[in-house]
Amino acid sequence: MTQLNENVDVVVIGGGVVGCAVFRRFTLMGARTMLLEKGGDILSGASKANSAILHTGFDAPTGSLELQCMQAGYEEYMAIHQQMNLPLLKTTAIVVAWNQEQLDALPGIVQQAHNNGVFDVEQISSEEVYRREPHLAKGALGGVYVPGEYVIDPWSSPLAYMTQAVMHGGQYAFNCEVQRVKSTDDGWELTTSRGRVQTRLVINCAGNHGDLIDGMWRTPEFEIRPRKGQFLVYDKASASQINAIILPVPTPTTKGVLLCKTIFGNMILGPTAEEQQDRNRADVDETVMQGLIEKGSLMLPTLTDYPVTATYAGLRPATEKKEYRIFHYPQDSWITVGGIRSTGLTAALGIASHVESLYQQHFPALFTLNPPPELQWPRMPMLSEYEKRDYACPGNGGIVCHCELVTRRELEATFDSAIPPECIGALRRRTRVMMGRCNGFFCSNNVAEIIGHRFENTLVVGKVE
């Protein structure tokens, strides 16, 4: 790996979904940008493992920046997803009340949704709950129906944002940890594990490490307190057992455990909400899994008929406060996007817009913008179980991964893409290979043959070698 010695307008620290969206936004504005990610791929932190719900914001705090960013992010995703070939699964959601206290809370949930401008949310009777969800356990007393909630692809979306940035000249470096920052006459000099980068503006999107990055030059205004969420993934046949996302009535501390289809055809059960010190490790725990299974079967008794094919956990970048922690320091040419706890997949494009408006308002003429005369749009590989996939198209070279129906053509194409995978995790997230019920037991030999020596020799436009 060669050493970096770059000079750009904007450095984005962190390639989570937020960093990818901010990187895209500033590149499309016409800035000379660079994204630095310490992992071997984007989505090495919180954005790797979430529920993948595109939220309406019906239950977000009214008037909050979080709600504003979620609704702007939702709208922009709706506007651009087709151009990028990104999928959308219209699931809807139902908040189900299982006891009198929860039933009494439903009008308040509807009222809050309406206060948030989500006017199609309505309370429904228990009969209506069962008409929509015939497999639910007995005892549901009523629900709140949220027609606008969707499920998306949590990995292709940020990859698409980043790809569009790279198509317009954005640069990036993986395995590149920012280790020190030093203020200079022209902005900042960043010392990374791969060399130095000079920049006019830094945008800190480092998720669970956001306070540590700020702590490199000032007393941070927030403290990260990672909150783990564990999930079970059920075999694809289980997805027939629900239609909507099944949500519990939230408590003041957690949104609770949900049942949800994934865009890849499975059903997930989770997440938990567990405070922990460690910012990096997201382990799953057998006792917690058992507890989740019990909770899930109380809501959906048929769940026990289906095998669990995987488990995973993600770490929310929570802080001592509930709200987003977005700060701008015009004197210091620095913006921090911290504490994007549990709605960042939805809000990312809206956060990027908000950061752009902070820049336009508070950082006048920090650098010259040369916006592209015409926007180019990446077409992402379609991985949704609910759309036409490559295995159904001629000339695909045959199916390599039979659990997830991944073709040789899809695997080979990913190495020719703007941001080729550089590690197995990246290849899995870009294609679904080895992500199915056998976890790669049957296809890994063939996959290894296709990978060949490619991980050592990746050379692409935009990538800083």
Ligand X SMILES: Cc1cc2nc3c(=O)[nH]c(=O)nc-3n(C[C@H](O)[C@H](O)[C@H](O)COP(=O)(O)OP(=O)(O)OC[C@H]3O[C@@H](n4cnc5c(N)ncnc54)[C@H](O)[C@@H]3O)c2cc1C
Residue ranges in contact with ligand X by CB under 6 A: 13-19, 36-39, 44-47, 50-53, 55, 177-178, 205-209, 213, 229, 271, 314-317, 340-346
Contact 163, 378 (CB under 8 A): yes
Query: 268 is written with which tokens?
Result: 């997930």
Nearer to ligand X by C-beta: 121 or 315? 315
Could you tell me whether strands 4-13 and 33-36 are parallel, antiparallel, or unpaired per DSSP bridges?
Answer: parallel
Nearer to ligand X by C-beta: 92 or 396? 92
Name which of 320, 313, 46, 4 is nearest 173 in CA terms: 4
CB of 151 to ligand X, least distance (A): 8
Contact 5, 195 (CB under 8 A): yes
Nearer to ligand X by C-beta: 271 or 440? 271
CB of 9 to ligand X, least distance (A): 18
CB of 374 to ligand X, least distance (A): 28
Is cis: bond before 248, omega within 30 of 0? no
Helix or strand or coil: residue 444? helix
Nearer to ligand X by C-beta: 250 or 301? 250
Which residue is associated with the tokens 């949500």?
247
Nearer to ligand X by C-beta: 161 or 415? 161
**Distance (Å, rounded) from C-alpha 302 to C-alpha 320?**
39
CB of 295 to ligand X, least distance (A): 15
From the CB of residue 280, how many other CB atoms can be counted at a distance below 10 Å?
10
**196 DSSP 8-state letter:** E
Contact 303, 293 (CB under 8 A): yes
CB of 339 to ligand X, least distance (A): 8
Nearer to ligand X by C-beta: 238 or 343? 343
Nearer to ligand X by C-beta: 44 or 71? 44
Dihedral, 297, 253, 53, 326 alpha carbons, nearest 10: -160
Nearer to ligand X by C-beta: 172 or 415? 172
Give Cα 298 distance to the centre of its chain. 29
Nearer to ligand X by C-beta: 13 or 242? 13
User: What string of DSSP letters covers 52-114?
Assistant: -EE---TTSPTT-HHHHHHHHHHHHHHHHTTTTT---EE--EEEEE-SHHHHHHHHHHHHHHH
CB of 453 to ligand X, least distance (A): 26
Nearer to ligand X by C-beta: 325 or 432? 325
Query: 373 is written with which tokens?
Result: 């005369």
The 3-class secondary structure across 249-314, one letter per residue, is CCCCCCCCCEEEECCCCCEEEECCCEECCCCCCCCCCHHHHHHHHHHHHHHCHHHHHCCEEEEEEE
CB of 258 to ligand X, least distance (A): 9
Name which of 26, 70, 63, 5 is nearest 335 in CA terms: 26
**Distance (Å, rounded) from C-alpha 155 to C-alpha 160?**
9
CB of 18 to ligand X, least distance (A): 3
Name which of 422, 441, 350 is nearest 43 in CA terms: 422
Q: Each residue of 193-225: b (16+ CB within 10 Å) or e?
A: ebbebebbbbbbbbbbbbbebbeebeebebebb
Nearer to ligand X by C-beta: 200 or 255? 255
**Distance (Å, rounded) from C-alpha 162 to C-alpha 174?**
13
CB of 7 to ligand X, least distance (A): 18
CB of 442 to ligand X, least distance (A): 29
CB of 44 to ligand X, least distance (A): 4
